[in-house]
Structure formats: structure tokens, C-alpha cells
Structure 1
Amino acid sequence: MQFEVNKCDSAFDSRCEGKTKIPYTRTKWDEETGGGLNSPREQINEKTSWIDGSFLYSTSEPWVAALRSWNRGMFTENDDIAGYPPLNSRIIPLINPAPPHIHKLLNPERLFSLGDPRINEHIGILTIGIVLFRWHNFQANKIANEHTYWSDEEIFQAARRVVIASLQNNPDIFIKLEKIYEDINTLDAYVGGMLETTDAGMGELFKLIILDQFLRLRDGDRFWFENEQNDIFNKTEVEEIRKLRLSDILRAVSDINPSEIQDNVFKFHPNDPCPQPFQVNATGLERCIPMMRYDYFSGNEVTYIFSIITLGAIIPLLCVAVARYLIIRRRKNGVSLIEMPKIIKKEPEQTNRVSNCSSDSNSLSNSSVSRLYVDADIVNGKFKMPAIEWLSDNFCRSVNFQLDLSTGDILIKKPRSKTILRKLNIAKSSQVSLTTTDPNSKSSYGPFMLISIPKNYDLVIRLHDDKDCRKFMKCIEDCLKKFDTPLIVQFRQNDALLESAETKEKRQRKLDKFFREAYSRSFEDPKLSDKNVDYDESLSHSTLGIKISKAEFADALGMKVDNHFVERLFACLTTKNEDVVDFDEFLQFIKKFAHGSQKDKMSILFKMCDSNGDGKVDREEFITFIRQIMEPAGVKMEYHVRLLN
């Protein structure tokens, strides 16, 4: 989003151009989400999603350690201004620092140091931060006096728990709400919520959203102060925290007379002792210096002239030297002396040709293709080659391809790094399909290689030239011969090759349509189906005819593939094949949950618990099943298992 600046604004449009805009990011989200019904958009919490006082305590232990005094569990206070946090003399990184040319005008160490790098951006956040800073030291001093034998760490953490509980205690947010819209699908939520806002405050929609969010934060936080099972506070302490109000904190940490602060500091009523003295404004604040353009050329004219002269002489010489080096290198490699033979001659009546390595009569080693193979450099039983991996029409990346001929493992690695981007195994597959660019193709791009392995999305890489292509194919064939794995080789035009590639992105789109249609038919709700897709015969076969693997099923659930719950649920889905699930199997399973009888549902649950298939569910099977369900949510079962013992 961009906000237009008023023409002739004194700070941002001093030249009266009327073109200045301030960029603003409304929210950040995970770009891998939001693609459909099964993948709603997930917002990104860059710091923390909990109400944990992180703007005071930070989310980094080294950060909060730099703020502590390590004495009586207190934060370090400012030496010059009592009751305030110290200035940023330790140069803790802050968000939106002043640009380099402003550093000579303002001292970057003049800002306060608290747990959040944004603390100095807004006067309201800074104010509440200082209040809670004092509230922590107040609680620490109180706890240290009550428990003289406690260590600094015990006092600090106890005060920290009280401060966090004070933030979590917000009874005013839990109010009864009324439904305002019969159909909110016709109105943008943000626009509608803003239109509901009145002088009395926010409307019903935003109240409901905030209520729902706070309920989720409370119920999902195992450290919430009202959670009696975490043993952080006893019932008496919880009741004391519930009675705590912001006015109590202000009275405790300030020199204001307690009778001069009303109990509810958020609203002013007649006869309250503390009316608002004036409207908050920028009076008394230091002047805001906007991010204006800076003329780095001014005062450096002579240096600039000599730099241009130097660069004008060096760059042409450097280009000549690089060109000469490349020519010498190509001559050493024989590129300009030897004409690269074609992989195979193109047959005029055929556009796609297939060779089957599993057949002796059509074996590649006896074909015209294999006579043009080039032996590759094998080091320690591994074939390595730089390549470019093609992921989609808009994204490619440089990678290092590695094939272990002894195991059949293919590793796609990040250049100049040991990071493994992808791993495949061609030895354990029932067959491998290898599609390469037709050698008679007029495309200016290098040869593409498409490797298709069942139960995996395709790997598409682009090689440097035909010589690398022949080395690649030779190594693939030699490796598969050791494991008697069939190899299918095809030749296609680049466009057809890339179009046929079942990439991760294409596969994900098909899976999304797969789950959408399954849920739509199971729950008999057309709204769940993809309205933008017409399921003709070909599309229905390509989308609903696919089979999903256990790994893809686990990914759709957001769980690991080796999770016991995933394994048992997948075992209940499969009726024809243990490795994959087709659309009919998945549809029938969902229908049982949606419309099946109680007996059908209990039968599925029993089968999921019966891991050994003996028709009985013993105690260990039941505990293992429940534990595997709970652990992804962060719930530990050891305590409850001990009770069962």
C-alpha cells in the first residue's frame, strides 16, 4: 500500500511536486500459504505470537541479558535519569535507524534500550514500555525483600512472571457481542470493521475478532497465568492478579498522588480526578528528520572526476583481459576445434522418441545414442556436475548435481555450500524416465534433462552443452544397470518437455484441487469446490485421477511423514495399494466421517489404534496413538501416562 503525501508538505514534499508517496506494508504472510481452501493464508509473527511482554523482555536471551543489572533481579536503570531505562550506549540494533548522513546530526545513542527494537518509534509504546520497566523493578524489589535467600535469577524470573500475568489480565475484552451481518462474504472485513467504528470505539466485528484472538491466545498458551496445571501461580495469586488494573501499576511506579488517578485510566467520566490536560501533540519533541534525498556529490567534485577517468581506462582493459582468458580456455577445451556430434538424428515423422533400457533389443548401450556417450569423470564413485534447476516458468536456481553410483542417490546441492536442496534415489524405484531436449531443437537454451521417478515430483535441470548431456545420460544408465532398474529415454522439444514436467508447484495445485473436490462431494457443499475450474473429462482425469503418497498426505496435515498418527490414518485410507491413495478411497473415508454411523466412525478409530492388526487394542497401542496426536501440539503425555500406571 502507498499513502499519498499532501502537495507542498513541509517535510516530505518541500518542492511541491505532488508525487511523494509513503510505502506501507499492511501485513506480512507466508507466501507458501493462501493458495486454496486447504492452505489458508498464515500471518507471520516475526517476534512472538504470545502475550509474553517481549517488547520489555525481548525474544532473545543475549538481548535481555544486556538489559539486566544482575542484582536483586532488576533491570539496569539510567545513571542520569532515575526510573528510566539506560540509553543505547551498547548499540543494541534498532529497527529503522537513521540513515548514514543523519548520524552526523543526531546521536544514535540517545535512544532508550528495551526489549523491542521498535520501542523508540512510537511515544505510546515507549511510554507503556517505561511503565512496565518500572513495574518489573517494583516487583523485583518487593520479591527480594520477601525472599532474601533467593538468587538474582529466581527474583528476575518471578518478577517477569508477574509482569506478564499483568499484561494477560484484561477482563474488559471479554464482553458479549451481537451478530451484525447476515452474510459477511459480500464485504471486505477490514473495510466493514472500519465503517463500524464510531466515537464510542470499535464496532462489533473488530470486537469479535479481538475477542476470538484473545481467547485463542489464552487457551493455547500453556504458560497463561490462569492455567492451574503449569504451577506458576496458586489460586490466591491468580485472584490478586485478576484484581490488578493499570491504574494500580501507575500508582506503584510513579510519583503521582494515588487520589489523582481514576481507577479506569482508559475512560474519563465526570467527577474523575484526572481529566486530560490537553490533546497530545508534537510540542516538545525533537524535530522529525524525513528520509529526504542526500547529495553525496556535493564537495566531492574533484574525486568524482578522477574516479571517472580511472574507471574509463581500467574497465576496457579488464574486459579485453577477460575476453582473452575465455577464448584461451575454450581453445584448451577444444570447443572451437571439435564439432559436437548430435545425440541422435531426428526422424521427420516423429516428434517424441522413446528408448527402453530394460529391453535388450532396444538397449541404449546398443543404440546410436550410446555410441555418442562420453565417459564422465567419476571421483570416489560419485558423478558431479554444475547445472541450473528449473522450478517454474518464473524461477530457476544454480545447483550442483551429484549422483552416487553405488547407492543411486541423487543430491541437489547449493553451490559453494554443503546445503542439500533435494534428495532422490533412482535405485529403489520401479522405473526411471529420462526426457531430454531434442538435439535438433532450434532453442538457444542448453539441453534440459527431466528425471521422473514414481511417487516424486519431477526434477528438471539444464546442462551446459551436449557434451555434458551425454556424460549425464551415460552415468544414469551405468548406475541403473547395477540395480536392474528400467530406464525410459525420451526426446522432446523444450516447450513440450517443460510443459510435461510434474514440478512441485504443479503437483501442489493438483493436490489442492484434489482435496477441494473431495471435501465438496463429501459434505455436499458446492462452495468448497474450485469455482474457477470446469472439470471436463481431461482435467478430471489429470486432477482426480492422481494418487497421493504418504509424504504428500502428511504435508497436507502439517505433520511429519514418520508420525505414528499419519501412518495409522494413511493405513486406514488405503484399500487397494499400501503406498498411495486414490480419489475414491479418500472420498469414501471422508464420507464416513461426515455421514457415517457412530459404528463406522468407531471402527475407523479402532483400526487406527490397532497398529499390529491383531483385532485388539492393548494399552501400549492406545497410549502411543494418543501421544502421537498430542505431541505436534506441544502437549507432553509423560504425566498422564504415569497416572495410568
Structure 2
Amino acid sequence: MVPPGVYMRNASCHFQMVLNEGFGSSPALRVCNSYWIRENPNLNSSQAVNQLLLGMASQISELEDSTVVEDLRDYWPGPGKFSRTDYVASSIQRGRDMGLPSYSQALQALGLMIPRNWSDLNPNVDPQVLEATAALYNQDLSRLELLPGGLLESHGDPGPLFSTIVLDQFVRLRDGDRYWFENSRNRLFSPEEIAEIRSTTLRDVLVAVTNVDPDTLQPNVFIWQNGAPCPQPQQLTTEDLPPCVPLTEIHYFEGSGPGFGITIVALCCLPLVSLLVSGVVAYFRGRERKKLQRKGKESVKKEAASDGVSAMEWPGPRERGYPVTIQLLPDRRLQVGPVLVHLQPGQIHVVDGRLSVLRTIQLRPPQQVNLILSSNHGRRALLLKIPKEYDLVLLFNSQEERGAFVQHLRGFCENWSLGLEVAHMSEYELFRKAVTKEQRERILEVFFRHLFAQVLDINQVDAGTLLLDSSQKVREALTCELSRAEFAESLGLKPQDMFVESMFSLADKDGNGYLSFREFLDVLVVFMKGSPEDKSRLMFTMYDLDGNGFLSKDEFFTMMRSFIEISNNCLTKTQLAEVVESMFRESGFQDKQELTWEDFHFMLRDHDSELRRTQLCVRGGGGGVGDIFKPNISSRVSFIARTSEERSCPQRVGLPASKAPELGGPGLKKRFGKKAGVPPPRLYTEALQEKMQRGFLAQKLQQYKRFVENYRRHIVCVAVFSAICAGLFVERAYYYAFASPPSGIAQTTFVGIILSRGTAASVSFM
């Protein structure tokens, strides 16, 4: 039915010659080269479209039979990969995919007569075509498909099957459409309008649309009869038309091989390159780290002696040991690298590789130092038992290195008149006999529990004891003495703080460098149960450094500086001097250079209630009396008498406020004890005064500027994201509008394709 070409003529019955790319002119448009092609130079105006319609009205179509022109059979526009396809074959395959019935089943369903054999199908068909078709279906007529059977039964017009199907389809469309113009029940059209619609033909529509002379069209444009105006010059054949563009296969990967290969190689090499880069970075960082370590070792070696031995320190049974190096230095120091043991008169300072003090051990004549050596397992272990301290256990590489360290230690003890007793036992017994830091902390816990029980008049049962074998262990804990470092740790302060030095020196009545149970108890009782006078007298005595019974301005300045030091505040020396002068002036002592205790207590007269609540914060509980004796306590306790209104630590050792101006407030109030965290940095800014904009537009502009300043990061991110989306949209839209090959899309959907492709690219990026 479809011809190989289509004529074009004007209103004066002049048939136009059409232009073909690469072929010149031809009498008609070739279907295979024009269908589904959006860009056609012969159809670039509305007048050309009118000529196409007039040409189709004058052209006679092919017969409705089994013969199909090559434009549909071999040169129909194909799918994406191939430019051409077989339209008839694809229609048959599509019918199979959709499950269409066979030719015989369709005839039976529509109530038509079923042919008995192949010759009854259509006597006018070429017998060779029937034989080839029968052989294709294994001589089984029931297997003949719907589309080939409908084409074979046609005699030039649609056969019984296609005619029945088309008629049934149109009847269903009419009966199923409530808005059909012939439906009088919907009252859409009057009988006169229905009659007018019935009398309207396609010829009337073409005349109204194209503005051509009605005499140039036959009454029925679908049928051409003899005597009709503008007959066609001849029936078109493929010989009169340009050949169809042959099949071309589109290789989407063509030209992308090098880029794809480079991408694959890059992805495969990415882990190796990353590993190589990380290895190079690690190498250079390791080299820099080794340089820094060598510099650190050189700086330490400048302080240490050249001779030394290596060892391993054993911290406890449940802890891993770590390697150390022991050296005897010219100024009586032992380096345990990365720990350095500094031997000074009466002291052993344990410092790390950065020369920071980790531990200080008091050694004063006639103290006895016990040294226990292992007698088995290579004789490498050594236990250094120091009175009133936890032990130091060292494992050497060999017995010779241990012997060298013992000789260094003997010389140190002889130099400072210290007794040294050497014993031998097995390594297992040596480890059992060693008092580790963890065991020392458990002993100190019993020490503090019974100390609190004595001060607060709490029963021993409530105070609790450790799960030890006998009361002898408890008595041993109560007879132990605190070193300066342990005392500072119990207060949460540093051993070198001035307050710790003053308090420890005051409490250490016998001057042996340790605090006994009774010495600590005497100080604690004053802070727990003492009157304001007792507390102020204790503070006065603590900072009366020369012991002359007077507190000079320099000593008062030292007291103030210690308060500021332990409270983690920062005042310059000038500011602190101004505060001291202000306090003396407010108390009327501006002419005095020394204060008696009465003067000092008078200076604190306005802070009697603060002195009553001023107490020490000592390790052992959660912050109050009721929490002191809970088991497994390793936090800190504040000995504060709680009132009914206040159930927390209101303050520690307080300082009277001053009315002099200072940083942070109108009065100076410092506390003993270390704060829980690092104090936040103080920022000092200068306010800039700007002229207020009174105009409405100026205010809106200022508001907009503030908005941009506050959300500049968000604005930049949104702008970059929007720019990428807009770029993708413009690129895809431009491609499908101008750069894409012709795809035959109608002009009505062309804009929609551009918008949909552009937005799809943007959405896929999102």
C-alpha cells in the first residue's frame, strides 16, 4: 500500500521536482530518505507542506497485497545501533512478543471462514510465494502468523481479516466514547450540527486550511478516479527515485578506546600510586622524625654522661614493660631513656626525655636503700626499694649491665652517706615482693579513708578497709607517709606549686620530707573543723616564710601569687602589685610594711562566712562528706560542710575581695585547688562604632550585606552547585537543539526534548 515515493504539486497541477542530497533532483520524495528525518530542504515552509498534501491527493497508492516496497522492508529507520531495519520483520517479531494469536485463531475468534489448505488462502497469490511460506511454517497452516496471513489473503484491498479488525476497532472506539459526535444523549451537538459534521470531508478541511482552489481537488481525496483533476504523471517505481541510504552500524565505543584504556589503567594504578605516594610521604616523615630524635638524643647526651646501660622497666604484673637506658652523668644523674634519673643531694629526680620531672624521691641520711637482685633467669632483674616510696624494678639485657648499674648506685650512696643493703632472691619472688604504683595507690586509699574517719568522727566500718589478709596491712597503710608529689596529687596540684611548697613545709613538722598520718590530720582538722581565726592563723603561718611572726608585703605578694597560680588565672606582676596595694589601702594599712596576725585577720573581717566554708579539696570522693566512703573511689573529694540550702562545694580556700578594678570583675576572689579543665582563653576585642543608616533602602542594603557576611559559605556552595547544574543543562540543551544528528522528532515535541534532556542531566548530577 505504501509507495516508494510521494509527489509534490502546486495548485496549478504542476508536479514539483525535489532536491536530494548527493543525487540531484527527482520527481518525488523518496520515503526511505525522507521519513523520520526532521531536516528536509524540500519541506522548509508551509507552502511546501501544502504542496505535499496536494501531491498525496493526486498520487495513487500501491495495492494492499503481500508485496512490500524496499523502503519498508530493508530501509526503514532503525534502532540506535543500526540506521536501517526491516519494518515488516520487526512488526512480525513485535506481534510474537505481544502474544498475538495465529491467523487461524484470529479468523475463528472473529467468526470468519478458516481456509482448509494453503491454496484456499488466496488463489491469486504467486504459487511460489505460497510454497515458500508453507515451507517456512512446516506446511502447517495453523502456525501461520497474523500479519503474514492478513497480507497473503488481500486481493489489492484489505482482506476479510484486516477489514473486520479495522471495522471492529472503529466501532469500539465509537461505542466507547461518550463524547462521540453522533451520541445524541450527551447533548453536545444538535441534529443539524451532526448532519453538518457528517457532510464535512477531508477535501473541505484541506481547502479551508491550505486556501487552494476547490477545483484542484477531487471530491474524495482518498480515491482517485478517471476525470479527477491533476492526475499523477506515472505510478512511481524505485527506478525513478534516488537509492536509499544504505545501512550503517553505529559504534559508540569507536574513538574512545585510548581514553577508555587510559581510564582503566589509571583506575588500576590508583591503589599502587596511592600506596607509592603514601610510602614516599611516610619515608620522608620517618626521616624527619629520626632527625628530630637524633637531635633530642644529642641534646640529652650533652646533659648525660657517655657511659650507660640499657634496661627494661617493669611497671607491674598487668602492665607491659618498656625499654629504658640508664646512664651515670657527671653531675650525679641517671638517665633512664626516655626517662632520665637525676641524682641530686638527697633527691632522685625522675624525668622524661624532655627533661620534665616525673618523680622526685627524697633520700636523706641515714636512710637505708634496699637493693634486691635476682638470682636466676640470667640474673637480669633488679629491685630498688626506697623507703616510703613505691619500688623501681628494672630488667637488664645481661648480668654485666646490671652489675654496672649497681656500681653506679653504690657510688651514689657512698657519696651522699646513704646506706645500701643488697639481697638476692629468685626473679619470681622479686616481682612478688615489689610494691608497684598501683599497690601504693591502694595503700594511700586506706590512708585517706581512715584519715577522713578521724576528722569526721565516722566509724571504721563506714570508712571501709581494703580486702587484705590481716589488720597488719591496715596498720602498715596507716603508718605510711606521703611524699611531696603524693601530697600535691591528693590536692590536684603540681608538686612545684608555691601553695604546695608552703603547705607541705608547714605540715612537715619533723622535716623528714614526708607527711605522716598525724601531720596530715593536724592540717586537715583546721580546715575541716577550725574556726575562721584558726584558718587565717594557719594561712598566716604558712606564708610567714622567715618565721618572724610578721607578714611582709613581699610575703603577702607571694601568697597572692600562689593563689593565682593554683587557680589557673593570669595576672601580670604589675596588676598583682596594684591589687595588693589596693587591699592594704582598703584595710587602712597603706603605711605598714608588715602585718601581724591580727592585722591579717582584720583584713579578712568581711569574709568570715567564706572562711567558715573554706576547705581543702582532697582526692577520695565525689565532692562531699556523704560520698567519701564509697568503694572503689579514685576521684577527688572536697571537705565542705554542706548546708540545707547548698549541697555542693561552694568554694575552696577563699581570698577576700578587693574593690580595686581588675581583670574579670570588680573583686578578686581566687581559690585553692586545680580547676577541672584548662581555662578558656580570654579574648579582647575593640568595638567599632558605625553610623546608623536611617533610610529604608540603606537599612535593607545593610541587612543584605549582613546576610551575605553571615552565610557567605552557604552562598558560595549553592552558587557553585547551581553553576554546575546550569552548565550541564545548557550543554545538553544546546546539543539536542543544534549539535545532535536529525532524529525525525516533530517540531511540537522538539522544545520538550530539549528541556527534558537538559533537566535530566542536572537531576542526574544532583
TM-score for the superposition, normalised by structure 2? 0.31
Which protein has the larger Cα radius of gyration, Structure 1 or Structure 2? Answer: 2
TM-score for the superposition, normalised by structure 1? 0.37
Q: More helix per residue: 1 or 2?
A: 2
